[in-house]
Amino acid sequence: MPLSRLQKFDQDRFVNNPDQWLPILRAFCKVFYKKLMITDDEEFAGNKEIIDEKDLKNNISLSKITRFCGFLNGLVFQIIWERITKLNPIKKSAITVLKELYNRDGRLKFTNEPNFWNIPILSDAFYDIQTKNPLKKELVQEILRKVPHMISFENRLKLFQHFIEVDKSTQDRFPQFSDSESENETDKKIVRIRRNFVLEDGYEYLAKRKNMKSLFQIKFISDIGIEEEGIDGGGLLKEFMIQLSK
């Protein structure tokens, strides 16, 4: 395996001279991932009690793997953050290996550093996502989707809460009626449910809804077909959901 050569290498030199190193790293990532898939944690950690001495010699030491993790983590970040398209051929396989190594570290703690996987520049990710710069938003969102471990848990929590607030602000979560609304707009917020056909009417309405996040108000129709009195302030909706789930 070419790890002995890669461990002395840094991502800047790789980016500047990809033609020489890209085929090696790409092949290594694919082979190493296959090896990880058939290697349990004890064998990965080099437990001498269960591994033959001969097999142990063929094992890659945890110190070398840790250095490789740092290299690969930084390289993947650079490919995404700087949009280095010439390195796209390695991007997918590198991310696949990186995720598996991160999961192993979560169990074995072989890097011995709590912030080993976090990228310092992403400590401002929460502020970047709120900026008016669409490129920064897009880059942070791509990192969250593909390699979220690069952002600290505290920042990911802030981002998660921010996304929830943004989503709430775009939803009609409090369907009060105003004088400016037309009769048709007001009627869309009301769901009429016959008491004897809660399941049928509820299913028919919910199946048609495209946006399940915006709230609506319930009007119950009595057994004799008359609309029951009352304004749904949340109680009728709760009653409807309970009856529907029975």
Integer CA distances (angstroms), 49 to 43, 45, 111, in order: 10, 11, 22
Query: How far apart are the C-alpha atoms of 76 and 94, rounded to whole Å?
Result: 7
Q: By three-state DSSP, how is residue 235 classified?
A: helix
Give, for all 246 residues of the chain, the pLDDT tens digit.
Answer: 455 445 445 667 777 777 878 888 899 999 999 999 988 888 888 766 666 666 666 678 888 899 999 999 999 999 999 898 888 889 999 999 999 999 999 999 999 888 999 998 888 767 666 666 677 778 888 999 999 999 999 888 888 888 888 887 776 655 554 444 444 555 557 788 888 888 888 888 877 776 666 677 888 888 887 887 766 666 787 888 888 887
